[in-house]
Amino acid sequence: MNFAIQLANVGSIVYFVCMRYKWLNEINASHIFMAVGLASCLLLITCWDKTFVVVGSERSVPLFVATFGLALLDCALSVIFLPFMARFDNNYLTPYLIGEGLSGFLPTIFAVLQGVQQSESCDAYSEMSVNASVSDGKHVSRLRFSAQFFFVSLLFTLMISWLALILLQILPVCKREVRPVEATERPTDCESIRRLHDNPIKRCPTGTPLYTT
């Protein structure tokens, strides 16, 4: 499981390569990773307890795949969202960071409410399984709600985040908050910088040149 989570760091590298060769922009990449996370949540909800025989042993393949997908989303989305938020005023970074923190805080609250601290010990479960008098194929769980309910809560959190991203792109009130290109992009090549200095029209709202030597 830890290997699948650590392997998900490759998502940031893939995003960097795609941006380097201009195969994707941050908006398209955001929707792709959100779709991967949504599919991973659905896989968790429906198949988290399913196993398949791999190399002679039963493995929780759907659980590993879904964990990798969600870890891929978690590792790469912060890197992708920051360039998108740079389109807006810096004042909007605070709500963004608060929402990002709550995305990890809310699942933790659900896990505590589920009662993970009350799980039975492995020794007690083993004794229950070995003893023929009580081994009737049933295991009484002390959890307050099922794992599917917890995974559904993750799915709703992800859907809210994706909906917010879409609204930021299509709502007129959000479009009006996007800063002009001159205020968000700084030219990097010498020719663009020279043209910007030679053109007296491109100035900041304060009347001073946008870039000074």
Along the 213 residues of the chain, how does pLDDT read in single tens digits? 788 888 888 888 888 888 888 888 888 989 999 999 999 999 999 988 888 888 888 888 889 999 999 999 888 887 888 888 888 888 888 888 888 888 778 878 877 887 755 444 444 444 444 444 444 444 455 777 788 888 898 899 899 989 999 999 999 998 888 887 654 454 444 555 455 455 544 444 444 444 444
3 state DSSP class of 60: coil
Q: Is 20 exposed, middle or buried (0-12, 13-18, 19+ CB in 10 A)?
A: exposed
Work out the widest C-alpha separation in the chain, in whole angstroms: 90
- As given in the structure block, the two tokens for residue 129 are 């399984």
For residues 178 and 87, the answer to whether their CB atoms sit within 8 Å is yes
Separation between Cα atoms, residue 142 and residue 116, nearest integer Å: 9
Contacts 24+ apart (CB under 8 A), 42-48: 42/155, 43/69, 44/70, 44/151, 44/154, 45/148, 45/151, 45/152, 45/155, 48/147, 48/148, 48/151
Domain boundaries, the chain: 2-116+148-179, 189-213
- As given in the structure block, the two tokens for residue 184 are 């968000």
Instruction: Give the other-Cβ count within 10 Å of 76's Cβ.
Output: 25
Cβ contacts of 191 within 8 Å, gap of 6 or more: none
For residues 161 and 181, the answer to whether their CB atoms sit within 8 Å is no
What pLDDT, on the 0 to 100 scale, is given for residue 65?
Answer: 92
What pLDDT, on the 0 to 100 scale, is given for residue 194?
Answer: 54
Model pTM score: 0.68
Closest CA to 33 of 1, 77, 71, 64: 77
Give phi and psi for 30, each to the nearest 5.
Answer: -60, -45
What pLDDT, on the 0 to 100 scale, is given for residue 124?
Answer: 44
What pLDDT, on the 0 to 100 scale, is given for residue 212?
Answer: 44
Contacts 24+ apart (CB under 8 A), 200-203: none
